[in-house]
């Protein structure tokens, strides 16, 4: 994983959210480790590996400590995958119940959040620490043993943060730039 | 499997064919064993089990002896799954290269071929013998060992037919109608 | 598979049989397809692939048509694997219930049946047809779909034999006589 | 996992060590998280699940932080499994390279370390923290995601200990004896 000096994760740019009543932002999730599964509904590796793994993270970790989000990054077959009803039907059939964001299309092939994170493709797993910093960006399959270790590492890191709140709020401050939220 | 006194398999009622330049009919496939994989693109069991198994049949058996067809039977999420472009994108991403028929929609939820075969759902595997008789209709997963045995059984049955052509053509007789076999 | 002009399978040379009250010979099994799984109890590929596949053959095919035998071919770790109690404990723990023969040790590293069949190692799967001819010798893993097809092919071949017994016994000649088994 | 007030893990009682030149004790491993895989060579679940998982732990974690030990707890088929040569051959064939202890037989069916830890059977996975306390005893299969998280939790716990050594040794007190921590 990237060191704790990593940059803040870019904001999610989302047209619609599914499986949730609210619009999530990474800022609202400060204090939790955030696991983002970037996928496409017609990506075989996402369907067979990435999304089931994200589901196991949901089952195993406490929602108070770890938030799991899907990010539907359509960069091919836009006309098919880009429709909300298609994604809804997919999530229903595959029983995916965690919140899923539809990455906002741009005038390029690559949607906006995917571009901001410079993702190579899908599936990609992102790990964002409790202070909103992007600590891991993994394209392809990552073993469960490693993922479990890395999530727990971030969970505990954030706990120690709680013990020294002042220093933390300072290091966030202006130093991290105006766009940070 | 059903005995060789089984009825003829109903005709396929198809709006469009993908992965092929021609329109297939079961009649044209007489002389071959036909394996039909009835599926939906958003059916998890089809994606993880049924379609990969059909692909293994394609790889293992000679196309001179065994024909494999997909039958896309949309009975839910019609608006999403029923579009040709959606199915095309799916077949492309999952590298399914055998011919796939789009089952013709009816004014019911169940499309026409699916209704004619009285399928319970997807995935369903159909085995049609060399003379066009429906010998097996299996809903759900079927072990490879059993499927291999049953296909070979039908392949060899058809070969023995070749040894006694006259009787066969006679018993087929006049027509493809109800009297056949 | 080898054509039906293949040679007779050599006799099994066995010190002891487990999971059975009798001593089997291939000659006694004429009229059935015989599947022999050559294995060693400390061979990982046998434990994870070969033996479970043999178990599936037992479950799927009728014992009237297909006999499954294990052949314990110890060619390494003789002092450990060569003991009857070790093999018994192994069969018990892995719930292997089909008859298993202990291949007879020779003064070479390779036991006698293994040498007679010129096996390269374990797991090896042997297919012997209804008349005792060795039709297949496969070292390593064989897909279930193919194995199912090949067993069925031999099952049906033997059935057609029954329909024309005279020609068959003639074409085989004296070789099929009393000296054979 | 058990809280950090858990008791010290009992000493390992071992007749012989394999895959290592030295005799390990838990005491010597203070400062590392210790993962003990209790197994039997003829236990199917150990062979297919427990031991491969232990191997993945060896590959993933730094040996400076996590030590993996096998514990061969023979409680059935003593005459077969209890022999050093049998276990050696097994470890060789399954390419298990981490140190393995042969649990010392007692006059009961259950060997001594197994009795001291009150293990129900095999496979059982033990997690011992950096100060030698038994934090987890899991009989059966444990998901990789959970195991990765728990190991990392103990790894980081020990790191924070390093930052505040005095408080820790005090909170342990004399009751745990001079050898502790």
- Split at pLDDT 50, 70, 90, the class of C159 is low
Is the model's pLDDT at C164 over the cut of 80? Answer: no
Per-residue confidence (pLDDT) for residue A151, from 0 to 100:
98
Q: Which member of A48, A79, A92 has the closest CB to residue B85?
A: A79
Q: Which member of B42, B48, B76 has the closest CB to residue A48?
A: B48
Close Cβ partners of B79 (under 8 Å, ≥ 6 residues apart):
A85
Chain D neighbours, 3+ Cβ pairs < 8 A: A, C
Question: Is the CB of residue B71 less than 8 Å from the CB of residue B38?
Answer: yes
Cβ distance B148 to C145 less than 8 Å, yes or no, reads yes
Is the model's pLDDT at D52 over the cut of 80? Answer: yes
Give, as one character, the DSSP assignment of residue B133.
B
Count CB neighbours of B86 within 10 A: 25
Give, as one character, the DSSP assignment of residue A124.
E
Is the model's pLDDT at A104 over the cut of 80? Answer: yes
What is the end-to-end Cα distance of chain B in Å, rounded? 17
Per-residue burial over A124-155, b if 16 or more Cβ lie within 10 Å, else e, is bbbbbbbbbbbbbbbeeebebbbbbbbbbbbb
The mean-pLDDT minimum among A4-8, C7-11, C145-149 falls in A4-8
Q: What are phi and psi of D27, to 5 degrees?
A: -60, -40
Write out chain C residues lying below 8 Å of B56, CB-based: 143, 145
D103 interface with A at CB cutoff 8 Å: no
Is the model's pLDDT at A179 over the cut of 80? Answer: no
Answer yes or no: is C8 within a domain: no
Answer yes or no: is B9 within a domain: no
Calculate the average pLDDT of chain C. 88
Question: Is the CB of residue B143 less than 8 Å from the CB of residue B156?
Answer: no
Per-residue confidence (pLDDT) for residue C1, from 0 to 100:
85
What value does the mean pLDDT take over residues C26-32?
A: 96
Cβ distance C48 to D44 less than 8 Å, yes or no, reads no
Q: Is B175 exposed, middle or buried (0-12, 13-18, 19+ CB in 10 A)?
A: exposed
Cis peptide before C123 (omega within 30 of 0): yes
A144 interface with D at CB cutoff 8 Å: yes
Is the model's pLDDT at D60 over the cut of 50? Answer: yes
Answer yes or no: is C7 within a domain: no
What value does the mean pLDDT take over residues D27-43?
A: 97
Identify the closest residue of chain C to D48 by CA–CA distance: C48
Number of domains within chain A: 1
- Split at pLDDT 50, 70, 90, the class of C169 is very low
Close Cβ partners of B72 (under 8 Å, ≥ 6 residues apart):
B39, B40, B41, B81, B87, B100, B101, B102, B103
DSSP A10-51: PPP-EEEEESSSS---TGGGTTSEEEEEEE-TT-HHIIIIIH
Q: Which member of C43, C81, C93 has the closest CB to residue D43?
A: C93
Calculate the average pLDDT of chain A. 88
What value does the mean pLDDT take over residues D171-177?
A: 32
How far is B145 from chain A, CA to nearest CA, in Å?
24
Q: Which member of B76, B86, B93 has the closest CB to residue A86?
A: B86
- Split at pLDDT 50, 70, 90, the class of D3 is confident
A37 interface with D at CB cutoff 8 Å: no
C47 interface with D at CB cutoff 8 Å: yes
Write out chain B residues lying below 8 Å of A122, CB-based: none
Dihedral angle over CA of D90, D91, D92, D96, nearest 10 = 140
Identify the closest residue of chain A to B81 by CA–CA distance: A86
Query: Which of A18, A40, A42, A47 has the highest number of chain B CBs within 10 A, making it the mutation to test binding with B?
Result: A42
The candidate with the shortest Cα–Cα distance to A81, out of B103, B41, B101, is: B41
Is the model's pLDDT at C84 over the cut of 80? Answer: yes
Q: What are phi and psi of C138, to 5 degrees?
A: -120, 115
D81 interface with C at CB cutoff 8 Å: yes
Cβ distance A145 to D150 less than 8 Å, yes or no, reads no
Q: What are phi and psi of B50, to 5 degrees?
A: -65, -50
CA–CA separation, D58 and D100 (whole Å): 13
The residue range of the domain holding B53 is 14-172
D48 interface with C at CB cutoff 8 Å: yes
Secondary structure (H, E, C), B141-178: CCCHHHHHHHHHHHHHHHHHHHHCHHHHHHHHCCCCCC
Cβ distance B42 to A79 less than 8 Å, yes or no, reads no
What value does the mean pLDDT take over residues C102-107?
A: 97
Answer yes or no: is B112 within a domain: yes
A120 interface with B at CB cutoff 8 Å: no
Radius of gyration of chain C (CA): 16
Q: Which member of D53, D148, D160 has the closest CB to residue A146?
A: D148
Write out chain A residues lying below 8 Å of D156, CB-based: 152-153, 156-157
Answer yes or no: is A2 within a domain: no
A81 interface with B at CB cutoff 8 Å: yes
CA–CA separation, C88 and C106 (whole Å): 21
Per-residue confidence (pLDDT) for residue C95, from 0 to 100:
97
Residue entry with tokens 């060191």: A3
Per-residue confidence (pLDDT) for residue D5, from 0 to 100:
84
B177 interface with C at CB cutoff 8 Å: no
Cβ distance D94 to C43 less than 8 Å, yes or no, reads no
How far is C162 from chain B, CA to nearest CA, in Å?
14
CA–CA separation, A91 and B42 (whole Å): 9
Is the model's pLDDT at C148 over the cut of 60? Answer: yes
Is the model's pLDDT at A174 over the cut of 60? Answer: no
Answer yes or no: is A33 within a domain: yes
Cβ distance B85 to A94 less than 8 Å, yes or no, reads no
A40-96 residue pLDDT tens:
999 999 999 999 999 999 999 999 999 999 999 999 999 999 999 999 999 999 999
D83 interface with C at CB cutoff 8 Å: yes
Per-residue confidence (pLDDT) for residue D158, from 0 to 100:
62
Mean pLDDT by runs of 10 across the 181 residues of chain B is 89 98 96 98 97 98 98 96 97 98 96 97 97 97 97 85 38 29 22
Q: Which member of B143, B148, B157 has the closest CB to residue C149?
A: B148
Separation of CA B175 from chain center? 22
Give me the interface pTM, i.e. the ipTM: 0.85
The candidate with the shortest Cα–Cα distance to D30, out of D154, D121, D153, is: D154
Answer yes or no: is B152 within a domain: yes
Residue entry with tokens 């009835």: B38
Is the model's pLDDT at A163 over the cut of 80? Answer: no
How far is A156 from chain D, CA to nearest CA, in Å?
7
Query: Which of A43, A51, A80 has the highest number of chain B CBs within 10 A, making it the mutation to test binding with B?
Result: A80
A162 interface with D at CB cutoff 8 Å: no
Q: What is the CATH number of the domain that holds A101?
A: 3.40.30.10
Answer yes or no: is C147 within a domain: yes
């Amino acid at each position: 994983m990237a060191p704790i000096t990593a940059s803040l994760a870019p904001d999610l740019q989302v047209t619609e959210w599914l499986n949730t009543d609210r619009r999530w932002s990474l800022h609202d999730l400060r204090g939790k480790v955030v696991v983002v599964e970037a996928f496409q509904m017609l990506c075989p590796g996402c369907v067979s590996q990435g999304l089931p793994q994200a589901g196991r993270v949901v089952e195993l970790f406490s929602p108070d400590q770890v938030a799991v989000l899907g990010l539907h990054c359509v960069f091919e077959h836009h006309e098919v995958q880009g429709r909300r009803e298609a994604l809804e039907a997919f999530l229903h059939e595959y029983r995916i119940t965690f919140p899923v964001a539809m990455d906002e299309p741009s005038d390029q092939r690559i949607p906006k959040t995917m571009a901001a994170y410079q993702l190579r493709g899908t599936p990609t797993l992102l790990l964002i620490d409790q202070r909103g910093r992007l600590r891991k960006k993994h394209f392809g399959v990552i073993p469960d043993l490693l993922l479990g270790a890395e999530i727990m590492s971030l969970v505990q890191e954030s706990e120690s943060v709680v013990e020294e709140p002042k220093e933390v709020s300072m290091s966030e401050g202006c130093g991290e730039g105006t766009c940070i939220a």
